[in-house]
Amino acid sequence: MNYLVVTIKSWNIANFQKLQAEDTANQWFLITDKNELTLEKVRAINPRYIFFPHWSWIIPGDLYNNFECVVFHMTDLPYGRGGSPLQNLIVRGHTATKLSAIRVADGMDTGDIYTKRDLPLDGKAEDIYARASNVSFELIRDIIAANPIPVPQTGEVVEFKRRKPGEGTIENCESLESVYDYIRMLDAEGYPRAFLETSTCRLEFDSAEYSGEEIIARVKIIKKII
């Protein structure tokens, strides 16, 4: 059987390579460039499933109408439909969530659910994303083994808005814990860092450690071009 994984993140690529090496009974294919995700290319592969771990772009209708596409969303759907799920969960005070595997359909994160798995939200964003990747690939193994029929979402719908880079400022944080959360929730590959600005400089923070009484973090100071 042929299966396709579509992702750009290093932690997902590493897990794909591990799965490909272990599952020699099936053929596994990987796309890491959104411009290569075309109906023509996918038809040539003819996958049973297309899996999208940590995918930030709209999936074309000609793909999910012709192939069974599975996306992994870091909330207990239908709570938290929409963008920036990790950051929106942390700023709302959540310490754990569910990773939902859903069938791609019209609408943002509205598809039927194959399964959910618990996911703790401690640590910096890159650690959480790596943890979510491990869980995603566990779910991929489960799905190809059982071919489950997804069921409609139930419960109250809560929608998240994609956060903008400018919302990463720690200027208005009212507690050390809030400062720590802002730094850690943006501390991952490809994400703009939490920051502060002065009239002449921009300070970007990562690698934060919080003891309860103080935060120790790395800071990059960038001179503004005036």
Q: Is residue 91 scored above 90 in pLDDT?
A: yes
Average pLDDT, the chain: 96
Give CA–CA dist 226/219, Å, rounded: 21
Residue 39 CA to residue 26 CA, distance in Å, equals 21
Q: What is the pLDDT of residues 206-216, one digit of tens each?
A: 999 999 999 99
Q: Which of these, 88, 168, 101, lies nearest to 133 by C-alpha position?
A: 101
Q: What is the pLDDT of residue 207?
A: 98
The per-residue pLDDT for 56 is 82
* pLDDT reading at 54 higher than 90: no
Question: What confidence score (pLDDT) does residue 194 get?
Answer: 98
CATH superfamily of 2-160: Formyl transferase, N-terminal domain (3.40.50.170)
Q: Do 97 and 119 contact (CB within 8 A), yes or no?
A: yes
Q: Kindly tell me if the per-residue pLDDT of 226 is higher than 80.
A: no
Q: Half-sphere exposure (CA, 13 Å, Cβ side) for 224?
A: 9
pLDDT tens digits for range 8-36: 999 999 999 999 999 999 999 999 999 99
- The pLDDT of residue 166 is 93
Total-model pTM:
0.91
User: May I ask the CATH class of domain 165-223?
Assistant: alpha beta
d(CA 137, CA 131): 10
Average pLDDT over residues 118-124: 98
Domain spans in the chain, listed from the N-terminal domain onward: 2-160, 165-223
53 bridge partner residues: 72
For residue 76, what pLDDT is reported?
Answer: 98
Q: Supply the pLDDT for residue 55.
A: 86
pLDDT of residue 19: 97
